[in-house]
Chains A and B, each alone.
Chain A
């Protein structure tokens, strides 16, 4: 009988000795250069963390390469960040420069710290997801090939900028709380395979799965019907009934969202808001998307005050000016008509022309 319920390896067995000795004793940190953090303990100990970019989808060969580097400079320890960066934790300060030199020689990008763009949090896309409108890894690669100077610190921004990519409106990739988010969308009614539905779908739960009441039973076909004036293509029904197909390569596309954040610093956490309702899904390089993201980054970068996150900047200048200065058209698509919609309507004469 196989073991079960034994849980993950204990973190204590994974820590570099210097981390274990100074656990809970860290006093402050500095950022001596882009991608490098130095943490100082009350014991006087110092640990240097060198952060590098990862494509997140990696081969075991890649992992072994990391292990070789970590053996050489970090006594056999390595960690990852919540944004998929690699972190080499160096206990011996004399090894920092040689590590940086080896990483540079091997074309690792060191960065992702401070006022810039860290790695993109993203979803599986065509690599492994059944409901992916697009390929998240390819979008990430395309966007970051264009913007990596903001990762490596060659160019800086007013504040940190967190980008996320999700390949459908489920937004598995933190898109609802990111400074800039790219989200795959549907734009037309799902197709129903009535014959299959009559065999495999539980009608009641399929009807109940719809948040807008757009689904009704079709007793004649032992299937369901979807009303085109209520359906907003969330795809929840498709997760309950496999005979419903939300995907349509002809009309699916991408949308861009802005202004979300999770930190409580200064302003409260905010949900991301719709900036661009539709862009074509255009692999392998998605030029429309990379251009739109670059425009957003550059306009914010040039206009925000020091330390002002994307959403804080919009909060100060107002959405009307945001659309103006980014050159993005404001349309009826931007006006919420889902749950809690009225909370987003303007109730004051405080606005700009």
Chain B
């Protein structure tokens, strides 16, 4: 036992997986805030409940977000965490760092905070956990000196994030890191000053493997894909087969649309490009032999979210294909149309998906000026209750 007297948490220093308790103790050697965090969390482990108060709006000058106010419910017992606010610090796209930059960040946080951080938060920010109201502004000033800005919180565009993309992945159909950085810079005002009905998340994945979980975890998912034919290197395919790949069991029969044929005699893999739905399975199995196509862009999905409040959603196809070239003007204009329409029509704490569900996708599309297309639905409606407007009646069903 060490000087901290935290028998319950000490049990979480046993075992091979790296221990967050050890990390809190390391910080606690030099930080009273971390020491009292350790004690308060031990208390939580003892009585099975959290000890943070709700509410408390704090921030830095000029911004409406980026700081999450946090106060201990037991400040007399744990004065070090009386105020334990966190700063959401916008990470560089792709989570790449120089050690110089990371050390500068540590220096700032040692001076102004608890010496504890998350690399990274669920949304993508660097979360600097635990500082006082008094230290917020000087800490932000010091962060800005080393080039770190705050991320989003509240009813705002939240910090964007993405997969590694073209920086280190052969599947990337779009430059996820550049899109993320460009949109982040373009929407700084919407990110820092909440003005929407609720949060709005944007994530980008370079291919339909969706390593950024964009379709499920962002209101607007930007997912790279191609619309020509995937590239096949027949010699490379042969190498995988020679190395033991069971072409029929592991590739052909697992293609969701039976778009592949394997001619074992000729050693040729053939694809019917019209049938391919670019699911990535065959490419994942043979990355050295199969490659994404040449005509690349992104599909945009709208509405992905966690359960609060009308249930979890996976994003719906909004745009099946959009070219993604800097400065991404079409994308930016679309984001503005979406957020304008939502700001106008959304209720407080209503995410975009819930607005679409309440108003109907057709009305939403009309509101943002996008034409309906069959890729948007898994099937057309099965009920006959179709809205018609008087002016449409003259047209005998033609548009």
**Contacts from A to B (Cβ < 8 Å):** 2-11, 13-16, 19, 23-24, 26-30, 39, 47, 49, 53-64, 66-67, 70-71, 76-82, 84, 89, 107-109, 121-132, 135, 137-138, 140-142, 144-145, 148, 169-177, 205, 208-209, 211, 234-236, 238-240, 242, 247, 249, 252, 260, 262-267, 269-271, 281, 283-285, 306-307, 338-340
Give the distance in Å from the alpha carbon of A175 to the alpha carbon of B306 in the complex.
8
Give the distance in Å from the alpha carbon of A128 to the alpha carbon of B41 in the complex.
9
Please determine whether A4 and B192 come into contact, CB atoms closer than 8 angstroms: yes
Please determine whether A56 and B118 come into contact, CB atoms closer than 8 angstroms: yes
Q: Given that A141-B17, A263-B208 are known contacts, is A130 also in contact with B147, CB under 8 Å in the complex?
A: no
Give the distance in Å from the alpha carbon of A9 to the alpha carbon of B98 in the complex.
11
Give the distance in Å from the alpha carbon of A125 to the alpha carbon of B54 in the complex.
14
| Chain B neighbourhood of A235, CB < 8 A | 308
Q: Which of B149, B216, B277 contacts A8 (CB 8 A)?
A: B149
Give residues 100-146 of B contacting A (CB, 8 Å). Answer: 100-103, 105-106, 109-110, 115-120, 122, 124, 129-130, 137, 140-141, 144
| Chain A neighbourhood of B211, CB < 8 A | 82
Please determine whether B27 and A60 come into contact, CB atoms closer than 8 angstroms: yes
Q: Given that A11-B94, A82-B161, A126-B44 are known contacts, is A2 also in contact with B312, CB under 8 Å in the complex?
A: no
Interchain residue pairs A-B with the least CB separation, the first 8: A145-B15, A176-B312, A177-B216, A264-B208, A67-B99, A5-B188, A60-B106, A8-B90
Q: Which of A11, A131, A262, A281 contacts B213 (CB 8 A)?
A: A262
Please determine whether A59 and B280 come into contact, CB atoms closer than 8 angstroms: no
Looking at B55, B84, B166, B314, the one whose CB has the most chain A CB atoms below 10 A away is B314
Please determine whether B129 and A128 come into contact, CB atoms closer than 8 angstroms: yes
Task: State the Cβ distance, A100 to closest chain B Cβ, in Å.
Answer: 17
Task: State the Cβ distance, B130 to closest chain A Cβ, in Å.
Answer: 8
Please determine whether A26 and B170 come into contact, CB atoms closer than 8 angstroms: yes
The total number of A-B Cβ pairs within 8 Å is: 353
Please determine whether B20 and A137 come into contact, CB atoms closer than 8 angstroms: yes
Please determine whether A7 and B188 come into contact, CB atoms closer than 8 angstroms: yes
Task: State the Cβ distance, B187 to closest chain A Cβ, in Å.
Answer: 10
Give the distance in Å from the alpha carbon of A137 to the alpha carbon of B94 in the complex.
24
Please determine whether A82 and B18 come into contact, CB atoms closer than 8 angstroms: no
Q: Which of B11, B284, B310 contacts A285 (CB 8 A)?
A: B11
Query: Counting CB contacts under 8 A, is B371 at the interface?
Result: no
Task: State the Cβ distance, B119 to closest chain A Cβ, in Å.
Answer: 5
| Chain A neighbourhood of B172, CB < 8 A | 24, 26
Task: State the Cβ distance, A90 to closest chain B Cβ, in Å.
Answer: 12
| Chain A neighbourhood of B147, CB < 8 A | 6, 8-9
Q: Given that A145-B15, A262-B216, A339-B311 are known contacts, is A60 also in contact with B117, CB under 8 Å in the complex?
A: yes
Please determine whether B96 and A79 come into contact, CB atoms closer than 8 angstroms: yes
- Residues 239-273 of B, flagged 1 when their CB comes within 8 A of A and 0 if not, give 00000000001100011100000000000000000
In the complex, residue of chain B having the shortest beta-carbon distance to the beta carbon of A2: B141
Please determine whether B92 and A11 come into contact, CB atoms closer than 8 angstroms: yes
Please determine whether A7 and B349 come into contact, CB atoms closer than 8 angstroms: no
Q: Given that A30-B288, A174-B213 are known contacts, is A55 also in contact with B18, CB under 8 Å in the complex?
A: yes
Please determine whether A55 and B144 come into contact, CB atoms closer than 8 angstroms: no
Query: Counting CB contacts under 8 A, is B328 at the interface?
Result: no
Please determine whether B119 and A84 come into contact, CB atoms closer than 8 angstroms: yes
Task: State the Cβ distance, B193 to closest chain A Cβ, in Å.
Answer: 9
**Contacts from B to A (Cβ < 8 Å):** 8-9, 11-12, 14-24, 26-27, 34, 37, 41, 44-45, 47-55, 60-63, 68, 70, 84, 86, 89-103, 105-106, 109-110, 115-120, 122, 124, 129-130, 137, 140-141, 144, 147-149, 161, 163-164, 166-170, 172, 175, 177-178, 181, 184-185, 188-189, 192, 208-217, 249-250, 254-256, 277-281, 284-285, 287-288, 291, 306-312, 314, 347-349
In the complex, residue of chain A having the shortest beta-carbon distance to the beta carbon of B68: A128
Please determine whether A174 and B216 come into contact, CB atoms closer than 8 angstroms: yes
Q: Given that A8-B148, A264-B209, A265-B209 are known contacts, is A176 also in contact with B92, CB under 8 Å in the complex?
A: no
Give the distance in Å from the alpha carbon of A10 to the alpha carbon of B94 in the complex.
10
| Chain A neighbourhood of B9, CB < 8 A | 284
13 intermolecular pairs with C-beta atoms under 8 Å apart = A11-B178, A27-B291, A28-B288, A56-B119, A58-B117, A126-B51, A128-B52, A129-B52, A242-B55, A269-B215, A281-B48, A285-B12, A306-B249
Give the distance in Å from the alpha carbon of A33 to the alpha carbon of B250 in the complex.
21
Task: State the Cβ distance, B280 to closest chain A Cβ, in Å.
Answer: 5
Q: Which of A59, A141, A262 contacts B115 (CB 8 A)?
A: A59
Q: Given that A82-B211, A130-B50 are known contacts, is A307 also in contact with B250, CB under 8 Å in the complex?
A: yes
Please determine whether B12 and A170 come into contact, CB atoms closer than 8 angstroms: no
Please determine whether A60 and B208 come into contact, CB atoms closer than 8 angstroms: no
Q: Which of B92, B98, B119, B216 contacts A63 (CB 8 A)?
A: B119
Please determine whether B307 and A265 come into contact, CB atoms closer than 8 angstroms: no
Give the distance in Å from the alpha carbon of A197 to the alpha carbon of B97 in the complex.
47
Give the distance in Å from the alpha carbon of A86 to the alpha carbon of B254 in the complex.
32
Q: Given that A57-B23, A129-B50, A284-B12 are known contacts, is A7 also in contact with B185, CB under 8 Å in the complex?
A: yes
Please determine whether B17 and A144 come into contact, CB atoms closer than 8 angstroms: yes
| Chain B neighbourhood of A262, CB < 8 A | 210, 213-217, 314
Please determine whether B119 and A60 come into contact, CB atoms closer than 8 angstroms: no
In the complex, residue of chain B having the shortest beta-carbon distance to the beta carbon of A241: B54
Please determine whether B103 and A67 come into contact, CB atoms closer than 8 angstroms: yes
Looking at B27, B51, B347, the one whose CB has the most chain A CB atoms below 10 A away is B27
Please determine whether B15 and A141 come into contact, CB atoms closer than 8 angstroms: yes
In the complex, residue of chain B having the shortest beta-carbon distance to the beta carbon of A57: B20
In the complex, residue of chain A having the shortest beta-carbon distance to the beta carbon of B225: A264
Give the distance in Å from the alpha carbon of A124 to the alpha carbon of B347 in the complex.
28
Please determine whether B149 and A127 come into contact, CB atoms closer than 8 angstroms: no
Q: Which of A11, A263, A283 contacts B8 (CB 8 A)?
A: A283
| Chain A neighbourhood of B102, CB < 8 A | 63, 66-67, 78
Give the distance in Å from the alpha carbon of A54 to the alpha carbon of B126 in the complex.
14
Please determine whether A2 and B168 come into contact, CB atoms closer than 8 angstroms: no
Give the distance in Å from the alpha carbon of A62 to the alpha carbon of B23 in the complex.
7
Looking at A66, A235, A264, the one whose CB has the most chain B CB atoms below 10 A away is A264
Please determine whether A57 and B216 come into contact, CB atoms closer than 8 angstroms: no
Please determine whether A307 and B254 come into contact, CB atoms closer than 8 angstroms: yes
Looking at A55, A171, A172, A339, the one whose CB has the most chain B CB atoms below 10 A away is A55
| Chain B neighbourhood of A132, CB < 8 A | 50
Please determine whether A242 and B216 come into contact, CB atoms closer than 8 angstroms: no
Please determine whether A209 and B53 come into contact, CB atoms closer than 8 angstroms: no
Task: State the Cβ distance, A224 to closest chain B Cβ, in Å.
Answer: 16
Task: State the Cβ distance, B334 to closest chain A Cβ, in Å.
Answer: 21
In the complex, residue of chain B having the shortest beta-carbon distance to the beta carbon of A16: B96
Q: Which of A49, A78, A80, A211 contacts B310 (CB 8 A)?
A: A211
